[in-house]
Structure 1
C-alpha cells in the first residue's frame, strides 16, 4: 500500500492486487465452511484437466462453483444438470475476474442427503456380507400352488395383485397385512417374511411357494421402511423365493437387491409369479397332439423295420450251418488230440529214470534229516520249557498268591498240553519219515542188482575190482572174481578167445527204459 503526497484527502490507496487479496482473505476467513443449497446450472461434465466448473442458483441469485479433480473422483453422487443439491465447502474469490465462488468438498441431493448417505453406507455394509450376491438367488417355481403377499390389506396394490393372478392362473393367495409406511413398517415386513417361512408344510394355513413383498410408489422417505436392515436380512434368509415389488420401475430399495427377483410394479410381480393358464392349456394341447403324432410315426417306422428285418432274416438251417461245422471239426480233432496227449504223457513217463545211486542219495538225505530232527527235538523241547518257565517267573513276580497259583496251574496245563502235542507231533513226524525211509529202502532193494543175483545171476569183476560188462574185454588166462548172492569166488578165463579187445571210443547203447541190461 502506498500514499501519494499530493492527494487531496487522507484516504488510504490500494492497488488492485492488494484489494483482491484482502477481499479473498476476508471471504475465506468468514466463510471457511458452508453448506449451500441450490440447483446445478451450466454443468457440462468435468474439464479436460479433471476439474468441474458450474454454478449453483436459486430464483434470485447465482453462485459459481468448482470441484477440483481429486475431490471429484471421490464424490459418491455425481452432479447433473438441473439437480437440486446441498454442497459443502468453503467460499473463496477468483481475483482474475473479481468473482467469488464455492470450492465444493462434498455434494448430496437436496432433501435426502442424510438418508442417501445412510442408504449408501448400509448398502456397502450388507453387500460386503454377501447378502446381494447373485449366486445365492433362487429360481422361482414355475407353477406355485400358494402365493404369500406381504402388503397393506387396504391399498390398491393387493387388489391389483389378486385381480391379475385371478386372470392369469387362479390359485390360493395368503395375505399378511402390514404397514408399508411409517416407523414400524420395516419391523412388520421382516416379521411377515419370517412368519411365512415358519409355516409348516401340513399346517392349517398352507405354506406359500413364493412370497411377494409389494407397495405402491412414493418418495425416498415413503419407501424408507423397505431399506431397513431387518427387512434385508429377513429376505436374504428366507427359504421361500421372494419377489420384490416396491414402488415404481424407477424406484429402488435395498429389498430389491436382496430379493430373488425384482418386479417393476406389483402387477408385474403377479405376472412373474404365475403363468397364464390359457397359454398352458394351449401348450399342453399342442404337446399332446405332437406326442400322438410322434407315437404314431414311431409305430409305423418300427413296423416297417420289423417287416424289413423279417425279410432279411435267414432260416434256422442257415443260422446253424456254421456252428454245426465248427462242432463237427472240433469232434474230429478231439480223438486225435487225446491220442497225441496220451503219447506225450507216455514219453514223459518213459523219460523218468530211477537209478540205485540216486535212490541211495535220497535215502541218505532223508536219514540225515531225520537224525538232525531227532537230535534237535530234545534241545528245543528243553529250551521251550526253560523259556516258558522264565516267562512264568517274571509274570508271577508281581502277582499275589491266589492269582499266581491259578496262573501257574493254567500255565502248567498249557505246558503239559504243549508237551503232549509236541511229543505227538514228533512221533507222527518220525513215523512219516520212517515210512518214507522204508519205502525208499524197498524201492532200492527192488532196483538193486542184488535182487538179480538172488535169481541165479553172477557179477564178474576184473583184477582191479571193476565190473566186466563185455566178454571181449577179457582174454584167456585173465584172473576174475565172480560175485554171487552169498559171496565171491575167484576164477580164470580159459579158451583161446581172440585176446583182449581195446575199448572203442564210441558211446555205449543205453538199455531201454524199464529193462535191465545184461551183466555179462
Structure 2
C-alpha cells in the first residue's frame, strides 16, 4: 500500500483534532461514507497558515502508511489547505460568532483615538510597501515619532508574532529607552483570504482587544475585512488611511490656530470698537459748551440788572426816609431823656462791679501764690544753690558732678563757675596737702572748698 499510494490528495472534514505535547497533530478525515486517520508531524504543523479545528473542510496531501500498533492505515499529511473559500468563510464566521459572544467586539469597548499622539507604534513587515506608505503619509500630514515592531504578516507564526508585538508595545515603560506609543497601527497590504488569515486568528484578536493602547486596524484593502478589524478601536480601509486617521494635518492645525487667534483678537477689539462708536454717538448728542453757558450767562445778566435796579431803588427809598426825618434840638433832647430813663431803669450800682473785681483779685492772688511756691529759684533766697553743667542741665548727684569738667553754681545774686576737685583739671591745680589744717582755718575757710574751687 505504501509503495502503490506513495502520494495522495484527500478532501474531507476534520474531526477529532488533537495536538500532542510533542507538537504532532492527530486527526481524522471523513466524508459521507468513510473516515481515515491522519497525522501531521511537528514540522508540518508549524507551517500551517490556520489552526485546524473540527468541522473544517480541508484538502490533505501526503502518503498512506500503516500503523502496526493498531493494524490500521493512515495518511501522513505533508500539507493541509482549506477546501475552498467557502470553507474559510464558514470557519471565519464560526470564530467571529464565538468571540462576539464573549464581548470582544462590543462597541462600548472601543476607545477614542488620541487627537495628536506623540509616538505611534506600527506592527507590520519592515520590508513591505506598507511601512513606507505610512511613514510618507505621516511626514506629509504631521511628522511624528514612529516605532516599528517588525513581524511576519502571513504564513506560519505570523499570528503569534503580531499578538506578541501588540502585547509588547503595551508592556513598554513610559519612561524607558523606547518610548511607549500613544497609538498602535496594525497594518498589512492586500491579499487573498488565505494571505490575511493570520489577522483572523484568535490570538491576534484577543491581543488587540486586551491592548491598553488604542489600536487602528489597517489590514488589506477597503473590501477586506478581518476579525482584527472588529476588535480594533478603529478600522482603516488602507494603511495610508490609517496614517491619516492617526494624525491631523499640520497645516490645517496651524490655520485653525491662526483663525482662533484672529477671532480672539476680534473678540477683544470688538467691545472697544463698539464702545468707541457708542461714545462718539453720545458725544454727538451732547450740546456745545457755549450752548450750555448761554442760559447761565443770560441769567447772570438779568441778576446784575436786577441788582442795579434794586440798589437804585433802595438808595431812593433811603433818601426819601431821610428827607422825611425832621431833626431838631427838641427831638434830640427828647431822645436823650428817654435813653437816660432807660439806663436808670437798669438799676446799675458800683457795688456790683466792686464785688466782681474783688473776686477776680482773690483768684489772681491764689494763682500768684501757687506760682511762687512752684518757682525753682525761690529757694535760692534762703541759701540754696542750683548746680548746672556747661550745657545748662541740672546736676542732681555728687557722682555726676565729679564727672563734669566744669560746673555753674547759681545763687540768688548771681552765677559762680567752678571745677570739681575730682576732675583732671582740678587735681592738677590743687597741690597735695602736707598736713590737716587747723580748726581756726576750717572755720574761716569757705565750706564749699571741700568740693569746688573758684576758677
**TM-score class, shorter:** 0.3 to 0.5
The TM-score normalised by the length of structure 2 is: 0.43
TM-score by length of 1: 0.38
Greater gyration radius: 2
Structure of higher RCO (CA pairs closer than 8 Å, 6+ residues apart): 2
